[in-house]
Amino acid sequence: MRSLSVVSIESPAGLSTHGCGAGDEPLLLRACRGEHVERVPVWFMRQAGRSLPEYRDVRKRADLFEICRTPELAAEVTLQPVRRLDVDAAILFSDITLPLAAAGIDLKIVAGVGPVIAEPIRSAADLRRLRPFDPDRDAPYVAETVRIAVAELDRPLIGFAGGPFTLASYLIEGGPSKTHARTRQMMYGEPLLWRRLLDALADIAIASLRSQITAGAQAVQIFDSWVGVLDPDSYRDFVLPSARRIFNGIADLGVPRIHFGVGTGELLPLLAAAGADVVGVDWRVPLERARARLGAEIALQGNLDPALCLAPWEVLAERVTAVLDRGGNTGHIFNLGHGVPPETSPDALRRIVEHVREHGASRQATADAEWDALGV
């Protein structure tokens, strides 16, 4: 696996480890580094919020951005799935568009729609509205949320940022898009403006991630959720340089870096080439095929179809087992192929976590029996 040069970042008081083994390092971090682990670690994208009743109770008191901007509330929501589900990592509760709003963009989260931009960016003059992002000045509440959460955790906290294509699409389209037509129009038709926009977004991501890591995040994920709309040549020419800029911009901090997008089967090697240590795989690509495309040096994350969370337990358990068998115990993190559907029962998620743990225990017991039979 790719070697990560770990620099010393002082751990906040109260932070210990979860699922530790060799070197007292958490399972998640060892899996990110491509080590063979006694069981596969598990967490879920969008585990904080949406499907949890305790999160819905918080939402009765505050909207999404109010929660994100209130460290005590954001930390509470970050910790909720750890308490209920006993996953192997927490992920910061925030939103990929939050730094855009903090950097001068008139942006609102509209229920049932998503982020809506009042004045989309479609010209060089528009781009001037996106000013440089200073986490200490513009969004100090994010680092404070990280500090509060890690002080309560006994497992890693994952920080995150939005990928350059996905954020650019929101800014150019004015909100979510099924076709990303205006986005690709700028990409192909105004490549210099496109590059300026993506580099600005990369710099925002770097500043945000460095602040989160310094505050205590032990791994980070780049969510470039919609980049799967592109073909490999377009990604290589128009997105990869800015994605690489992000990964290079945090490389010196030594934390594992995860790269994720939906529908990216043909882009997997390029997602790794940006500098990722772990590549998220959606449910469309079998893990053994992803492993063949990426090689042994890149860890995999995924890749249960999120819709299976709504299936009968017998069906769900069988598919969880299949993902675990395909991923193996070396360089694999169990997750969904995208986020938790909001109608998912928390009990289903808890049973998945328990099944992943039981599968690991069973696999270890089998291995021990084989060694015993050999007299080792």
Catalytically annotated residues: 46, 50, 59, 95, 170
Q: Is 84 left (phi over 0), alpha (psi -120 to 50) or beta?
A: alpha
Q: Which residue has the tokens 């128009």?
A: 238
**Dihedral sign, Cα of residue 61, residue 66, residue 68, residue 72:** negative
The SS3 of residue 254 is coil
Q: Cis omega before residue 329 (within 30°)? A: no
Q: CA-CA distance, 338 to 118, in Å (whole number)?
A: 28
In contact, 27 and 19? CB cutoff 8 Å:
yes
In contact, 28 and 88? CB cutoff 8 Å:
yes
Question: In sequence order, which ranges of 225-345 are alpha helices (DSSP H)?
Answer: 232-238, 240-250, 268-273, 287-294, 313-327
Q: CA-CA distance, 230 to 271, in Å (whole number)?
A: 12
Q: CA-CA distance, 45 to 311, in Å (whole number)?
A: 18
Question: Which residues, in sequence order, are bridge partners of residue 280?
Answer: 301
In contact, 80 and 56? CB cutoff 8 Å:
no
Q: CA-CA distance, 166 to 226, in Å (whole number)?
A: 5
Q: CA-CA distance, 139 to 372, in Å (whole number)?
A: 56
